[in-house]
Structure formats: C-alpha cells, structure tokens
Amino acid sequence: MDYLAPIKAFDRFQRRRAPVAIVIAVLRNFSDQNAGNAAALIAYWAFFSLFPLLLLFTAILGFVLHGHHAALVSVENSALRELPIKLYAGHGSGVALGVGLIGTLSAGLGVTSACQNAFNVVYAIPHRSQPNFLVSRWRGLKLLAGVGLLQVGSTAAAGAVSGGFGGTLLTVAGLAVALAINVCLFFVLFRVLIPKLVPTNELWPGILVASVAWEVLQSVGGIYVSHVVKGAGQTYGTFATVIGLLTWLYLGARIVVYAAEINVVLTRRLWPRSIMAPPEPADRRARAALAKMEERDNTETVDVSFHPPLTRGPSDLGNPRYTVAPEPAPGERAQTATTRVSPSTRATIDSLTVPALLDAVSERLGEADLEPATRQAREAIEAARDAIEQL
C-alpha cells in the first residue's frame, strides 16, 4: 500500500491548476528561504521597540501634563491602564526623554533593517548587491518618518471601527480610510526597500494583499482588546495584553513577508512547484536563485548544476571543493577554473542514466574546439539523446 498516494495525487492536481499551484509555490518559497525566521526577527524588533517608545511617551506626558492632575488621572484610566505606565504630575524627566528617543530610533531602525533583510531573502538578492550599512540606515530613517505616521493613522481608523463608534455609515467610512492608508503604507514600504530594478507595477499584487490582510488584523486586534483584555482581571489582563501583542506583531510580520513572496512568484512565474519528485523547472530556478545569493563580491561567481542524486558522506561538510581563476594561491587546496573538479562522490549505478551519460559526453565535446568532426559528433550525440527520451 502506497501511503503517499494521496499526496502524489494532490501534487499532480496542483501542478495542473494555476490558482492552487500559485498558493503552493508561495508556501514552498516561504519554506525554502526560511522566511519564517525573517518574520520572527521583524516581530522581535517590533516588540522590543515598544518599550523605549513607552518610555518616550511617558516622558512627554510628564512634561505636557505638568500640574494638571485631573487630566493625568483621565489619561491613566484610559486604555493605558493595561500598559506598564505610571504617570506623575510634574515629573517630566529629560534623561527619560533622551533615552526613550534614542532607544525608539535604534529599535525602529532594527525593524526596518529586519524588513530589508527579509525582502533581500525573498527576492534572492546576492550579498554583493544588497545595500551597505549607511544606505540601509538611511532607508530606515525615511521609512520611520513616513510609515510611522501612516501606521498611527491606520490604527486609529481601524480602532474606531472595531470600537463600535458611530453607525454603519461611519464604520464603512472608517474601514475605507484605514484601507486607503494601508495601501499608502505598504506602497512606501515595498518601494523603498525593494530594488528599483523591480518595476512598481510588479509590486501591486503584494501591496493590495498586505493592505487587506493588515486591515483584517487591525480589526481583529481591536476586537481582542475590547472583549478579551478589558474583560480580564488585573493580573490576567497583563498576560492577555502581552500574549495578544506578540501574536499580533508576528502575524503582521508574516503578512508582510507573504505579500512579498506573492509578488516574486507571480512576476518570476515560479509556479508550479513540486511537492514530490520529479521537480519542475520553477523548482530549479528558485533554488538556483537562492544559491546565487551567496555571491559576496564581484570576484566570486556561484554556478549551480542539477544532476541525479548523489551519495554524500560526512567529508563533504565544511570542506567543499572549489575552483579559482586564474589559479590557486600557493598552498591553497583548490583547482584552476580551467580544470574540471571531480566530484567527491560518484553517482550510483542505479542513478546513472543513458541521457545523463550522453549529456556529460556532449558537454565535454563542447569544451573542445568545434572542428567539423567534433561538431558532427556532438550533433549525433544530441540526436541520440532526443531519440532515447522519445522512447
């Protein structure tokens, strides 16, 4: 009994259905690139940035509410009572203001840097083409200025809707305003962090998906605060706030990364992807792009080849074979680029096929000078290979 038969049947089905194949391709890309770790890093920096932001907020309120005890009590009894904030009239601290400002800026740049790294992975941008430290931080500052204000407006509009303020007309208007702000927010985010070589029209699918998903997440977050956090006690309310906030930030980070993955799959046509063997051309193109990411500078070129399965041993780890052009340095364990590197392991007899053997012979002939006899031999080998594949 073949226990994998249902999976194989679904694999064949999804390869023939474009909508399903696109979804599977997005999930495969997300998994192959370990994009979940990138989303977790974004969520970590977002959560970490809240604490210096709260310190900054507390210091500002300390100056603004100086001598206004009634206003201070009103603020403390608002939604801020679920947060670890204690205000004291007349106790605005310049030190707290400075530390909060520097901490907020530093953590905010951590968020933008994590987003930049996530987009670099999703778009398989080689290390040699990624922005350097200064360019990355300059982009981060621009994002903090633009996206920060848009996020405040979007959250306020979504919070008013989920809080039940006004009638149906006001609710619909609030949703429309929040959605429009989200579109602007993600347009700025994607356009600033994604290389200019990617045309703007290729970014819109992910922008629209992220905007709608973010709107839903904001509404769900408002409902959670209204019905779960407010209904919890003094102790459990704090746990509900922290757990809910962590979950909300992580889901938001995954939305951003998934939206970028959708753009890549659609524009580069990385579908259908295989769940089980045999692989599709999109599988090879996606994995080749991941391997090319490791090019660190203009003196390094990563070449990718696909072949029948090899039996690899522990000696292959940590000591890979490589070539150097024009020649290795004295004492270096490498071969020149003009000499073919013999694989450390050979394909087994079961995995060696006649077409693979003919491919190897044809490739070797292609490296020689194309004399008439050599050209005729290569053409004969290619014709034989095509005939074998048609059997």
Q: Which residues contact 139 (CB under 8 A, 6 or more apart)?
A: 112, 116, 131, 192, 193
pLDDT of residue 269: 94
Token pair recorded at residue 321: 């074979």
Q: How far apart are CA 188 and CA 176, in angstroms?
A: 19
DSSP strands (E only) in the chain: 323-324, 335-336
Flag whether 27 is in a domain. Answer: no
Predicted structure pTM score: 0.77
Q: How far apart are CA 216 and CA 213, in angstroms?
A: 5
pLDDT of residue 254: 97
Flag whether 200 is in a domain. Answer: yes
Which DSSP letter does residue 325 get? S
Q: How far apart are CA 82 and CA 223, in angstroms?
A: 15
Flag whether 78 is in a domain. Answer: yes
pLDDT of residue 20: 97
The range of the structural domain enclosing residue 244 comes to 34-123+132-267
**Which of 117, 112, 110, 185 has its CA nearest to residue 146?**
185
Which one-letter amino acid corresponds to residue 290?
L
Flag whether 53 is in a domain. Answer: yes
Flag whether 90 is in a domain. Answer: yes
CA angle centred on 248, ends 29 and 32, rounded to 5°: 10
Q: How far apart are CA 202 and CA 190, in angstroms?
A: 11
| Helices 372-390, 354-367: inter-axial angle, 10-degree rounding | 160
- CA 99 remoteness from chain centre: 31
Flag whether 4 is in a domain. Answer: no
H-assigned helices in 268-298: 281-292
pLDDT of residue 348: 46
CA end-to-end span of the chain: 29
pLDDT of residue 313: 63
Flag whether 182 is in a domain. Answer: yes
Q: How far apart are CA 197 and CA 383, in angstroms?
A: 40
Flag whether 177 is in a domain. Answer: yes
* Location of structure tokens 């102790």: 235
The list of the chain residues with pLDDT below 50 reads 79, 89-90, 339-350
pLDDT of residue 331: 75
Helix, coil or strand: residue 17: coil
pLDDT of residue 355: 65
pLDDT of residue 303: 86
Query: Is residue 54 within 8 Å of residue 85, measured between CB atoms?
Result: yes
Q: How many domains does the chain have?
A: 1
Helix, coil or strand: residue 323: strand
